[in-house]
Chains A and B, each alone.
Chain A
Amino acid sequence: MAGIALDGKVPAGALGEKWSRHRFDVTLVNPANKRHYSVIVVGSGLAGASAAASLAELGYEVSCFCIQDSPRRAHSIAAQGGINAAKNYPNDGDSVYRLFYDTIKGGDYRSREANVYRLAEVSNAIIDQCVAQGVPFAREYSGLLANRSFGGAQVSRTFYARGQTGQQLLLGAYSALSRQIGLGAVTMHPRHEMLELVVIDGVARGIVTRDLVTGRLHSHAADAVVLATGGYGNLYYLSTNAMASNVTATWRAHKRGALFANPCFVQIHPTCIPVSGAHQSKLTLMSESLRNDGRVWVPRTQGDTRAPAGIPEAERNYYLEERYPAFGNLVPRDVASRAAKEVCDRGYGVGATGQAVYLDLRDAIDRVGRTAVEQKYGNLFQMYEQITGEDAYQTPMRIYPAVHYTMGGLWVDYNLMSTVPGLFVLGEANFSDHGANRLGASALMQGLADGYFVLPATIGSYLAEGARAPAGTDHAAFRAAEQDAEQRSRRLLEVSGNQPVDHFHRELGRIMWDRCGMSRNADGLREAAARIPELRERFWREVNVPGSGGDLNQPLERAGRVADFLEFAEVVIQDALARNESCGSHFREEHQSEDNEALRNDADYAYVAAWEHRGVGEPAVLHREPLEFEEVHPTVRSYK
């Protein structure tokens, strides 16, 4: 694959016409023939469930797999804030073009124009679809849909269902999927983990899964494989991701030939509940909608241990408002996160660990009253109290950034197909439309755009045109893949060391957070690059995975995922080292202005970095997809 030329397959024509033209140009599959094509969908979150349901509605024979006990539990369910669309209901100047422009700019000009435009274009249809499914979006007294401004947008384009938008959208997609399962059009395999992608003659032909209850390995063949397996934020051990979120499916696909794009673009969310102790298993996000009404501050004196209420106004540093007067507390996530880290690193942090800043809703409560604040954010205050035992109506919340979303993922072309023909990648699992930073309320939009509207339109072309050699699961490649998966499990069980899996995961997370977190530098990255193989080696020598491979074995599941993280971490570091610029979530300390703002380098780095696997421990090979900006001209992203 040395001389690989990455073809994004972006259709010709004006930006606004590309998608509609492309939809006309793609080869259609005759309705009567669709049932002869089988598609495997791995993952049942927003992207996976919506894709599986939509493909089944079209008539394809669909199998869907998820690791949870029910497709309804995919991590999309935890998204709180909302979903963007360019409906312009509030008449505040929004449009498809503005949503496109904001997303490109928010992503710090590291995403493909045509993809982002398409995303903005289909955003409205998503809202229509979800409302028709019975998603109870917030409404005005008129009975019409309500909108709010969210996460750095200057228009109100975010649709929401209290603080549970992800849940409601997922339950909508799940209901559509359930309907197809009930009709027999989708075969659902819950509690199945994909362990291998089966590639025959360079084409994706199926997968090998482990039944997590019986431990049995199964081969599944299909005409196309769709991965919608989410992001890899748990590489950092502590993140806002669900405990089972992992990189395994995409990593195994990567090892079978799919290029991995921009792995170092990891979003660190500014408003999470800070770490409280060593036992901490995950971090909880407080919806950033709180930043609409909350003010972020730290004391002006270092190490000020006074109770927040006792600190007079003059001694409070509302650092976001001071530094970014135009956007204030609503600057994009990467900017807000970095600013928090900076004030804490300089010793202004609050709370027992000094790794937190205040998010204060006092002024909002004074302005609109407690009841109004309660109506808007009641569940968040409740959640905060459950976790910290503190009443945020009385004392400001303490927040700190945490790993939240990964913009990087498997490289895909405009059709969402990876570099392995027949392997499609959707949602957070692909390298996505978010460039180097994702705007709030855009992840749900992208997941559903991919699943409901993009893939169903593009997959037909591949199926109709693809040369189909009917490969059954009796093909030798399936046997080989099963053996690989089997051996891997056996090896993990046979190490019989004396350290639990989490021990290594925690250590890996620490390295990644310290060296490849909110800010990175070459020395730190090189140090991480040296420590990761050593840690991996120790893992394979000292890990203890009790039990057998023949039943429900949660340590074995975790061990497999951590083993993959330990391999994957290296390409993340490699990507971060190779990108000698600061852009979006990727802040290289060597590349900053005098007032500590990120310095992007469009001359040398306006490309997608797509990495090719050459073996564990071997350096990956970089392939570049240049990013051409025909419509938007990259400017310095300023929120001042």
Chain B
Amino acid sequence: MTLHLEIWRQPGPEAGGGFVSYEMDDAVPDMSFLELLDVLNERLERAGEEPVAFEHDCREGICGSCGFLINGRAHGPLRGVTACQLHLRHFEDGERIVLEPWRARAFPVVKDLVVDRSAFDRVIQAGGFVSVNTGSAPEANALPVPRADSDRAMDAAACIGCGACVASCKNAAAMLFAGAKVTQLALLPQGAPERRRRAAAMVEAMDAAGFGNCTNERECEGDCPKDITFANIARLNREYLAAKLTR
């Protein structure tokens, strides 16, 4: 099949960028989207040109490295799928496809489709943990956790930190990301002692990183490759408010 790619090329963080067109007439429906870029890049490398920089690692949808906008959707048109798991059989022969990096003040472009997502790490460093030192843990079964809570904690914990929620949000907000972590740890008794401090600290880190704020439009959920639900954001609001009103 043939695909027409229009890819954002930007040599470096400070440099300006623009779209460059590439004709791919050797695409195969069984290819993943990233393998299509591999084919393009091999072609460019053979010609001595710089290949398109894009982030990727596990290529099985769990590391959260990959991701860019594919025709205006983070990770492309399918729900619950990362770019690496998106196969070309979901595109039409002859389709024109525009690829853009995540765009957010908190995620500056490093090169081409690669952005710097270290702001997410800073949000976690602010409070996305349980303060338990190695060795000081009690016996694992000492504290039963209702299965429903544990399951919901797992739903939230499935976040891969790819940044699609920020990319998709019209405000470039990181509320789904932060909300998922806050929810996971708030639902478990192990996370309870720090839940107030955690919510407050993570929201402050989020603001400091330059993310926008949530206007409750639920676009993030639609582009999240792990189907993290929007309800996590309401919980973040709740946890944060409780933290601020009681501390």
Contacts and interface: CB of A to CB of B under 8 A. Distances in A.
B140 to A, nearest CB: 4
Closest 10 A-B residue pairs measured CB to CB? A143-B144, A132-B137, A175-B129, A182-B125, A500-B45, A136-B154, A128-B137, A54-B134, A131-B140, A242-B57
B94 interface: no
B167 to A, nearest CB: 15
A47 interface: no
A69 B117 contact: yes
Interface in B100-126: 110-111, 114, 116-118, 120-121, 124-126
Nearest to A500: B45
B55 interface: yes
Interface string B1-28: 0000000000110000000000000001
A291 interface: no
Contacts of A386: 61, 81, 85-87
A500 B42 contact: yes
Contact of B48 (A53, A89, A124, A546): A546
Interface in A127-185: 127-145, 161-162, 164, 166-168, 171, 174-176, 178-179, 181-182
Interface residues of B, number: 81
Given A190-B118, A546-B44, A73 B63 contact: yes
Given A167-B160, A182-B126, A554 B150 contact: no
A498 B46 contact: yes
B139 A128 contact: yes
Interface string B141-164: 101111100110110011011000
B132 A132 contact: yes
Interface of B: 11-12, 28, 30-32, 34-35, 38-39, 41-42, 44-46, 48-51, 53, 55-65, 80-81, 85-87, 89, 110-111, 114, 116-118, 120-121, 124-141, 143-147, 150-151, 153-154, 157-158, 160-161, 184-185, 188, 190-191
Contact of A78 (B28, B63, B138, B157): B63
Contacts of A453: 134-135
Given A167-B160, A500-B46, A143 B63 contact: no
A547 interface: yes
Contacts of A580: none
B64 A73 contact: yes
Contacts of B145: 139, 143
A143 B147 contact: yes
Given A57-B134, A164-B62, A501-B45, A552 B53 contact: yes
A78 B118 contact: no
Interface of A: 50, 53-54, 57, 68-73, 75, 77-78, 87, 89, 124-125, 127-145, 161-162, 164, 166-168, 171, 174-176, 178-179, 181-182, 188, 190, 213, 242-244, 276-277, 279-282, 284-285, 382-383, 386-387, 389, 452-453, 456, 496, 498-503, 544-547, 551-555
A70 B132 contact: no
A179 B48 contact: no
Given A167-B62, A179-B129, A502-B42, A144 B144 contact: yes
Contacts, number: 233
Given A70-B120, A243-B59, A500-B45, A134 B130 contact: yes
A238 B101 CA distance: 28
12 contacts: A77-B64, A128-B139, A162-B154, A164-B62, A166-B62, A175-B130, A242-B63, A243-B56, A280-B35, A496-B48, A502-B42, A554-B51
A303 B128 CA distance: 55
Contacts of A72: 64, 121, 124, 161
Given A138-B154, A452-B134, 6 more contacts: A68-B65, A132-B140, A137-B150, A162-B158, A164-B158, A181-B125
Contacts of B137: 125, 128-129, 131-133
Nearest to A244: B57
Contacts of A130: 140
A78 B121 contact: no
B141 to A, nearest CB: 5
Nearest to A545: B45
A136 B114 contact: no
A178 B150 contact: no
Contacts of B44: 546
A182 B127 CA distance: 8
A15 B78 CA distance: 54
Contacts of A140: 147
